[in-house]
Amino acid sequence: MDRVGSFAFQPSEIFKIALVIFLAFYRLLISRMIETGRLKPKNPKKTVLFNAFFEFILPVGLILVPAGLVIMQPHFSCFLILGAVTVVCFLVSGINIRSWFVGTGILLLAAAILAGGLMIVPKSREYIIEKVTTNFAHVFKRFDIYTQDEDEELTDAQKDESLQV
């Protein structure tokens, strides 16, 4: 948390506002370029890939860089909020459904290849596992709390009381 005068804020809060402004500006720019014909594929057969790249893959890729920095803080809740804001902005911007599916498929394939490549190297795998378990221990603890049985949720005093009855 940073301080500016008497105000305290997290830099990731600025990114939430900048994200909406960036996506609105980017979508406006791309829409105008497509309408005026300044942005069109050279090969008409590749129109779907072309549109998926400019309407979906490129903006998501640009967002993933600072979002990666947020997740490295670790600030998991802000990362989830950024994801939700991105999805809502994409939904209301009128992106073609084909671009959604093609772009999501390409990004998932790229993520799987990247993750697989990182997991093949033993030292990077150990480093990643250690970083995730230490940086996100609080997240794992919250999931454990939600998955506990009712008997496990009882405090020590409640357990003692139930044994005496």
Report the alpha-carbon distance of residue 89 to residue 79 in Å, rounded.
15
pLDDT at 47 over 80: yes
2 forms beta bridges with: 9
Cα 65 vs. chain centroid, distance in angstroms? Answer: 10
Length of the chain as a residue count? 165
The predicted structure's pLDDT at residue 54: 93
Residue found under tokens 């996100």: 136
Give the pLDDT of residue 15. 87
- Is the pLDDT at 154 greater than 80, yes or no? no
Q: For residue range 12-42, what is the model confidence (pLDDT) as tens digits?
A: 788 889 999 999 999 999 999 988 989 888 8
Is residue 70's pLDDT more than 50? yes
Per-residue pLDDT of 120-136, as tens digits, reads 877 777 887 788 788 77
Q: Parallel, antiparallel, or unpaired: how do β-strands 2-4 and 7-9 relate?
A: antiparallel
Residue 2, pLDDT > 70, answer no
Residues 110 and 62: beta-carbon distance below 8 Å? no
Q: Which of 2-11, 94-103, 117-126 has the weakest average pLDDT?
A: 2-11
CA atoms within 13 A on the CB side of 137: 5
| 155 phi/psi in degrees, rounded to 5 | -75, 170
pLDDT confidence of residue 165: 47
How confident is the prediction for the chain on average, in pLDDT? 83
pLDDT of residue 160: 54
Which range of 41-45, 57-61, 92-96 scores highest in mean pLDDT? It is: 57-61
| Joined tokens for residue 83 | 């994801």
How far, in Å, CA of 85 to CA of 80, rounded?
Answer: 9
Amino acid at 62: L
